[in-house]
């Protein structure tokens, strides 16, 4: 007897609430990162609006030895993400990709899992990795403006005491001339217990802040969560220009005895070696950045240093570190990136 089709994979052609029709299933790329408990689709409305649908797939959990224990974390994670998205939508966060709607659809013949929960988002043109691949080799204007938008997104989230915790290239979505941060599945809100709060770092392991690699986790929410957001944003800057995240760039310049896998002492003891590698990585970055923003590469590198400072206690803009309440503010980074983007855009138009 053949296995029963998984309902979450059987939505193609269905019409959902509010006249959304499922028109195409998205094939998951072999290199994709993130959770494997959802299925993606493109959806359309009769008025021409397009969206991206995320359908929840609980089939693997039901195949586990203890289905209830396996299902509960998935249900909690979905409910938490939906609540985060509702907060962002209610607060009209212009640079955060929020859900248009959510719902449940009955899949004919779906059996035990015939009711499939879903979220529908505005459909982006592409993510930042695809845009970078298609952009002109040294298009600084788009890179800097996109980074300015993502810094603004973090300001909007942090104003509600929400840390994104998974800022990475694939979660930067491009909508025309606007970039937005997506995927609040690993976000954390101060005072609200999230399903993943027990993890030292909730985001994609490939982008882990350097200190967490050595087991250093600050118990204070702002220093741990907002500090991680600053590091991840700095890592995004590094990726946009050097095509590699900050942590692997730093680790590559460390001697093997000082790698996390070999180090057996405290983070404080290895910090001088990490800082030396970090300084070298920043110097390498400045050389690369000069190909894009010749006259502003030094300032861009300085912003990177502030954001990815290996000592979490010193992370952030120096003028903000005087007050614990403002240490992780992104306001100054927004202002400087706006200026740098404007200069790059002016230079681009002069050449056009």
Q: Is 1's pLDDT higher than 50?
A: no
- Contact between 225 and 232 under an 8 Å Cβ cutoff? The reply is no
Q: Residue 55: inside a domain, yes or no?
A: yes
How many structural domains is the chain composed of? 2
Beta bridge partners of 10: none
Q: Distance between CA atoms of 162 and 173, rounded to whole angstroms? A: 19
Q: Residue 141: inside a domain, yes or no?
A: yes
- Residue 143 and residue 63 in one domain: no
**191 phi-psi bin (left φ>0, alpha ψ -120 to 50, beta other):** left
Tell me how many degrees the CA angle 171-174-175 measures, rounded to the nearest 5.
Answer: 130
- Burial classification of residue 254, based on how many CB atoms lie within 10 Å of its CB (0-12 exposed, 13-18 middle, 19 or more buried): buried
Return the structure tokens found at 264.
């057996």
Q: Distance between CA atoms of 55 and 8, rounded to whole angstroms? A: 6
- Residue 165 and residue 108 in one domain: no
Residue 58, domain CATH: 3.30.200.20
Contact residues for 171 (Cβ-Cβ < 8 A; gap 6+): 127, 181, 182, 183
pLDDT bin (cut points 50, 70, 90) of residue 131 is: confident
Mean pLDDT of 35-53: 89
- Residue 189 and residue 282 in one domain: yes
Q: Per-residue pLDDT tens for 292-337?
A: 998 999 999 999 999 999 999 999 999 999 888 899 999 999 999 9
Mean per-residue pLDDT of the chain = 91
Return the structure tokens found at 62.
């039901």
Q: Residue 2: inside a domain, yes or no?
A: no
Where are the alpha helices (H) located in the chain, listed in sequence order? 59-62, 67-90, 128-134, 140-158, 210-213, 221, 227-242, 246-251, 267-289, 297-308, 331-351
- Residue 175 and residue 275 in one domain: yes
Q: Which of 89, 122, 155 is the last residue of a domain?
A: 122
The helix/strand/coil state of 186 is: coil
Percent of the chain with pLDDT strictly greater than 90: 74
Residues across the chain: 352
Which of 35-39, 50-54, 76-80, 145-149 has the least mean pLDDT?
Answer: 35-39
- Residue 247 and residue 137 in one domain: yes
Return the structure tokens found at 224.
């741990």
Q: Which of 122, 144, 161 is the last residue of a domain?
A: 122
Q: Residue 110: inside a domain, yes or no?
A: yes
Output the pLDDT for position 112: 64
- Residue 203 and residue 73 in one domain: no
Q: Which of 122, 143, 177 is the last residue of a domain?
A: 122
pTM: 0.92
Tell me how many degrees the CA angle 287-288-290 measures, rounded to the nearest 5.
Answer: 70
Q: Per-residue pLDDT tens for 274-289?
A: 999 999 999 999 999 9
Give the residue carrying structure tokens 């709607």.
Answer: 101
Q: Is 206's pLDDT higher than 70?
A: yes
Q: Distance between CA atoms of 127 and 253, rounded to whole angstroms? A: 29
Output the pLDDT for position 2: 41
- Residue 193 and residue 334 in one domain: yes
The helix/strand/coil state of 173 is: strand
Long-range CB pairs of 328-331, under 8 A, 24+ apart, other chains included: 328/158, 328/222, 328/223, 328/226, 328/227, 328/229, 328/230, 329/155, 329/158, 330/151, 330/154, 330/155, 330/158, 330/230, 330/233, 331/155
Q: Residue 79: inside a domain, yes or no?
A: yes
- Residue 143 and residue 62 in one domain: no
Distance of alpha carbon 252 from the chain centroid: 23
- Residue 254 and residue 343 in one domain: yes
Q: Distance between CA atoms of 236 and 106, rounded to whole angstroms? A: 40
Residue 277, domain CATH: 1.10.510.10
Mean pLDDT of 330-350: 89
Q: Residue 216: inside a domain, yes or no?
A: yes
- Picking from 76, 69, 313, 37, the residue whose alpha carbon sits closest to that of residue 192 is 76
- Contact between 80 and 194 under an 8 Å Cβ cutoff? The reply is yes
Q: Residue 1: inside a domain, yes or no?
A: no
- Residue 232 and residue 343 in one domain: yes
- Contact between 281 and 304 under an 8 Å Cβ cutoff? The reply is no
- Contact between 8 and 116 under an 8 Å Cβ cutoff? The reply is yes
- Residue 214 and residue 345 in one domain: yes
Q: Is 115's pLDDT higher than 90?
A: no
Give the residue carrying structure tokens 């995240």.
Answer: 245
Structural domain range at position 151: 126-351
Q: Which helix (H) or strand (E) holds 51?
A: strand 50-56
- Residue 30 and residue 172 in one domain: no
Q: Residue 12: inside a domain, yes or no?
A: yes
């Amino acid at each position: 007897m053949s296995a029963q089709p998984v309902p979450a994979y059987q939505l193609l052609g269905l019409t959902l609430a509010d006249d959304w029709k499922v028109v195409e299933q998205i094939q998951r790329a072999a290199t994709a990162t993130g959770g494997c408990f959802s299925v993606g689709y493109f959806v359309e409305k009769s008025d021409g609006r397009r969206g991206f649908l995320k359908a929840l797939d609980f089939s693997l959990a039901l195949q586990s030895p203890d289905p209830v224990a396996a299902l509960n974390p998935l249900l909690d994670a979905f409910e938490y993400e939906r609540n985060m998205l509702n907060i962002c939508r209610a607060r009209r966060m212009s640079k955060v990709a929020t859900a248009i709607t959510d719902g449940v659809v009955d899949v004919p013949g779906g059996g035990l899992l015939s009711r499939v929960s879903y979220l529908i988002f505005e459909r982006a043109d592409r993510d930042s990795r695809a845009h970078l691949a298609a952009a002109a080799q040294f298009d600084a204007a788009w890179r800097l403006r996109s980074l300015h938008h993502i810094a603004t997104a973090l300001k909007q989230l942090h104003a509600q005491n929400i840390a994104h915790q998974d800022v990475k290239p694939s979660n930067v979505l491009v909508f025309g001339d606007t970039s937005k941060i997506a995927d609040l599945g690993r976000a954390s809100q101060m005072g609200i217990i999230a399903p993943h709060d027990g993890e030292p770092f909730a985001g994609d392991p490939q982008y882990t802040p350097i200190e967490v690699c050595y087991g250093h986790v600050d118990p204070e929410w702002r220093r741990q969560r907002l500090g991680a957001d600053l590091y991840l944003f700095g890592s995004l800057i590094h990726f946009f220009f050097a095509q590699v995240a900050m942590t692997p760039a730093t680790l590559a310049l460390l001697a093997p005895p000082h790698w996390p896998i070999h180090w057996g002492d405290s983070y404080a003891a290895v910090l001088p070696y990490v800082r030396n590698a970090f300084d070298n990585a920043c110097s390498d970055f400045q050389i690369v950045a000069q190909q894009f923003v010749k006259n502003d590469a030094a300032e861009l590198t300085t912003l990177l240093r502030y954001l990815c400072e290996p000592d979490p206690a010193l992370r952030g803009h120096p003028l903000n570190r005087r007050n614990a309440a403002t240490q992780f503010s992104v306001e100054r980074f927004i202002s400087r990136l706006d200026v740098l983007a404007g200069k790059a855009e002016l230079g681009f138009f002069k050449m056009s």
